[in-house]
Structure 1
Amino acid sequence: MPSNTSYSWYTMLVAQDPANRYAIQRPNGSWMVIDYSAGLRILNLHNEAKAFNFTIKDISIAEDQNHNAGYIFFRHQEAEQSLIPLLPGYVVYTTAGKKRFRLSILESNNQLLFFWEEFGFDFSYTDKKAQGVERLAFHCMLKQYGLESNTTIRTILGLYNPQIIYKLQKLVHEKFPLRYPSIFQRESLENLRNSAKKKEETLLHSLKRGQEEIDNFLCENDSNGNSQNILFGIQVESDGKVLPPKMTQVSMLKNLEYKQTIYSQNRTIKKLKEKVTSINNEGKCH
């Protein structure tokens, strides 16, 4: 096997399931692979927005105090964005203390479980050396390997990556809209603004084409010596109509309103035709 294989272990892992695995690079230059093949799930506990508390030394007390915890906390200038959800189905191939781990977030009785597997220096992640399961978001694993002082949960899970954080937070928001409202409401407002801008641009293009048709109409009338420039009952002026800005805006909105009405009516007519056809076909069968 080529000597540089160990440097592209993440490429090989991604190649095994490119639709569900993604390689991301840490700030220190090392790599990890995120695996979504198990499917991310949101639990009822995620509606509580409770973060894990890793300051309690007694494990049994810590487990009790962290009952229903489903987030890790990191300080952010916006408090709402300081909570990162831990979702069942999230799997990561990562390194910590020069050892390789596969970390999986599971669920049991609507509580999170954290399953870890250690593969030593095996970059193929096949030669398992040890494994364990816990309830404290891999905190016990880090402590067992003496890594809790210089390795954070965020680091080993890749939860410093903005795209991953966004994905997890959005999934929670979709099930529990009261979680992260300001983040995605801003996004929703921005989408509405962009949509409105595109509609206005489309309307302006349509009006421009309409003006070209009017110019052709006037030119044709002029060639035929017809001075009655009336179209759809409206006197057409060669220089156009001068309207106050507010009336111009009303005209634009009315134009879109009529188009929407026609679109809705056409859909209704289409459905009625399909229903009539279906009834006729049923009658023929009998």
Structure 2
Amino acid sequence: MKNMRRLSFAFALIICSFIFVGCGASNNTNKTLNNNLVNESNENSSKESENEKDKLKKLEEDKNNLEENKESIEDLEENKDIINEEISSKNKNGIKIVLDPGHSKNPGTEKEKISPDSNEMKLKDTSGSVGLISKKNEYEIAMDVTLKLKELLEKDGYTVVLTKDNVENSLSSIERAEFGNRENANLMIRIHCDSFSNSNAKGASMLVPKQRGYITKEISEKSIEYGKNIIEEYTKKTGLNNKGLQYRSDLTGFNWSKIPVVLLELGFISNPEEDKFLSSEENINTIAEGIKDGIEKINFK
């Protein structure tokens, strides 16, 4: 009986030992798991931190690249402008423009043939029209615009020649055309003002030559192309109505020309508003700039 009690007691001790060891092992396992989770969390945090650093670094690099590219683009644009200016300057240096201010103060009464292929006669020169309100003569306005245009074109590098530089000097239309022929100019621009019995008529127009006399198909086509550029830019600059191109074969100054030639009607000085605009000295620069802008658009051939 005593032995049985001892055995039971020993057995109980063994079981308690197992339970104690098991509990200890379980605690150790839990601690290990917890440690692993903490370590894993720390590793993840560390990786996330590294990723954020990498992202920030990449953003900084992208920013630097963007700034470098921006500077490169600005440099390219600056170089492009310089190159364009050089090309433009070279193109202008080889271009000769003849400017012909219309009419004169002392025109005379002599006549001349309107074309080499015709016996029809017209006056060699006239005094032109007079402003409805300003009473300023067409030949004065034409001369003012011509002199300012010459100044602007020469500043831009064009070679500019005038058929005359004062309103007293009278030239016939044939003499004007032959002047341009002798100069062998790239373009001759005749400067005039329009006029009509109806004071409501307004707008600027560009007269261009049809094939006749010395005007060949090539000269006519160039004149049309050049004239179109000028009237578009002129009316854009001045705000005047663009009446477009008028094709003419009855103008002496056209029919005797062997170079591209156009005649710009600046506007109607028989119209009160346009007379005021064209006769005002403060508008001369704007008028001349409009013509210059058109010339600069021309691709001379």
**TM-score when normalising by structure 2:** 0.20
**TM-score when normalising by structure 1:** 0.20
Q: Which has the higher helix share?
A: 2
The higher radius of gyration belongs to 2
